[in-house]
């Protein structure tokens, strides 16, 4: 019998099944440096121990999206090695800050299964939790992927589509954010002086800058997360495939868009939750990514006067600047759109 893992096929999953994923991973300042080199993030809290300490953190926390990518990466060999498409995620909540030296591990529960009418594939819904070394959850999210069947004749292993919220309620936000000493929050160091109260629902911000992606960059990023999805790494196989080239991990676009959003959202120092995300089109090396954001909602946090939450939609595009805020007409996305991300950020009040 082969000792090589072929990954799970649709008929291998069961509702309620719990999968503990390999490989646990200690996150370090080495990862932080690489993440900075790959995305150029400039949020002061994650960049500076001194800034973070002044406002109430014990030290600079790990970037929220780096935590997300590492946890996500662990699920790939078990959940999506035989995936046809990564369909979406929802209900992603950061519940504890992560610091250099913490060890992340991941576990997923299968919460939904739905065979497609072709009987060749099915949709698998998993709720994944990332843990630290004390086995405390640091992150939770649901994602759903379309997975191939090994044997088309196999019976569907279940038939249940979970109900998922459109957006997280503001009262669960902020668990991964300690009490912030707003008086110590230095706007010159943070990059601008616009705080929670300065943003209005409906406001739209073009983040102006663009960044081109190289093959070496997205592969280094994706390996840093120990994500093993073949399509990102194997040009020889990709040449025979649908696109003829390597596909960039969708999370790469999310991190690029977040880094670009600093220009206009410098004080949105913490991603508290991701309500939902859609990878509208694939990105390939050589493409230049731009982004713009809209404030979808604002919310105070129960019992907290230090920070407030903005619900943002950030749209990323490829080889098209965002001065005219390209999005969609009806259900049809504008041609250059790569990403449609709906998430909550926290800002000092």
Q: Which of residues 83-122 bind a second copy (CB under 8 A)?
A: 101, 103, 105
Nearest alpha carbon to residue 109 among 23, 22, 8, 14: 14
Residues 46/60, Cβ–Cβ less than 8 Å: yes
Member of 87, 172, 208, 297 binding a second copy (CB under 8 A): 208
Residues 56/181, Cβ–Cβ less than 8 Å: yes
**183 counts as binding a second copy under rule CB under 8 A:** no
Residues 27-46 that bind a second copy (CB under 8 A): 28-34, 36-40, 42-44
CA dihedral angle for residue 266, residue 272, residue 277, residue 283, rounded to 10 degrees? 50
Cα of 122 vs its chain's centroid, Å: 23
Residues 235-254 that bind a second copy (CB under 8 A): 235-237, 246
Nearer to a second copy, 152 or 198 (CB): 198
First-last CA distance in the chain: 60
Nearer to a second copy, 210 or 277 (CB): 210
Closest approach of Cβ 55 to a second copy, in Å? 12
Q: Are strands 304-318 and 288-301 parallel, antiparallel or unpaired?
A: antiparallel
Residues 266-325 that bind a second copy (CB under 8 A): 266, 286, 288, 319, 321
Where does this chain touch a second copy (CB under 8 A) — which range of 151-159, 175-183, 224-232, 340-348?
224-232
Residues 49-78 that bind a second copy (CB under 8 A): 49-51, 60, 77
Where does this chain touch a second copy (CB under 8 A) — which range of 85-93, 111-119, 163-171, 208-216?
208-216
Closest approach of Cβ 273 to a second copy, in Å? 22
Where does this chain touch a second copy (CB under 8 A) — which range of 136-144, 147-155, 156-164, 219-227?
219-227
**159 counts as binding a second copy under rule CB under 8 A:** no
CA-CA distance, 22 to 226, in Å (whole number)? 10
Member of 14, 136, 181, 223 binding a second copy (CB under 8 A): 223
Where does this chain touch a second copy (CB under 8 A) — which range of 85-93, 144-152, 169-177, 233-241?
233-241
Nearer to a second copy, 91 or 314 (CB): 314
CA-CA distance, 156 to 149, in Å (whole number)? 9
Member of 194, 296, 298, 340 binding a second copy (CB under 8 A): 194
Nearest alpha carbon to residue 27 among 67, 74, 69, 60: 67
Member of 9, 185, 233, 333 binding a second copy (CB under 8 A): 233
């Amino acid at each position: 019998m082969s000792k090589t893992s072929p990954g799970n096929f649709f008929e291998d999953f069961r509702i309620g099944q719990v999968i503990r994923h390999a490989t646990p991973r200690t996150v370090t300042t080495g990862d932080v440096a690489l993440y900075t080199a790959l995305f150029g993030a400039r949020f002061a809290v994650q960049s500076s121990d001194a800034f973070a300490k002044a406002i109430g953190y014990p030290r600079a926390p790990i970037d929220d999206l780096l935590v997300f990518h590492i946890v996500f990466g662990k699920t790939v060999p078990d959940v999506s090695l035989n995936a046809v498409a990564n369909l979406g995620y929802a209900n992603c909540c950061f519940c504890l800050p992560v610091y250099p030296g913490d060890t992340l591990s991941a576990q997923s529960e299968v919460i939904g299964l739905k065979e497609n009418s072709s009987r060749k594939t099915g949709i698998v819904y998993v709720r994944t939790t990332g843990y630290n070394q004390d086995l405390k959850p640091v992150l939770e999210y649901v994602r759903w992927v379309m997975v191939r069947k090994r044997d088309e004749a196999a019976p569907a292993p279940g038939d249940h589509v979970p109900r998922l919220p459109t957006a997280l309620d503001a009262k669960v936000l902020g668990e991964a954010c300690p009490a912030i000493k707003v008086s110590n929050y230095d706007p010159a160091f943070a990059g601008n002086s616009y705080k929670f109260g300065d943003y209005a629902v409906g406001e739209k911000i073009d983040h102006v800058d663009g960044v081109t992606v190289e093959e070496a960059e997205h592969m280094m990023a994706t390996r840093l997360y120990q994500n093993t999805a073949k399509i990102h790494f194997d040009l020889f196989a990709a040449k025979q495939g649908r696109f003829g080239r390597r596909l960039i991990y969708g999370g790469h676009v999310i991190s690029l868009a977040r880094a670009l959003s600093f220009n206009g959202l410098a004080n949105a120092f913490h991603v508290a939750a991701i309500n939902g995300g859609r990878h509208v089109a694939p990105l390939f090396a050589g493409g230049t990514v731009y982004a713009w954001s809209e404030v979808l909602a604002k919310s105070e946090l129960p019992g907290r006067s230090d920070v407030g939450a903005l619900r943002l939609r950030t749209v990323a595009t490829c080889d098209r600047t965002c001065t005219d805020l390209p999005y969609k007409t009806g259900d049809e996305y504008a041609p250059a759109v790569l990403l449609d991300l709906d998430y909550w950020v926290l800002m000092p009040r």
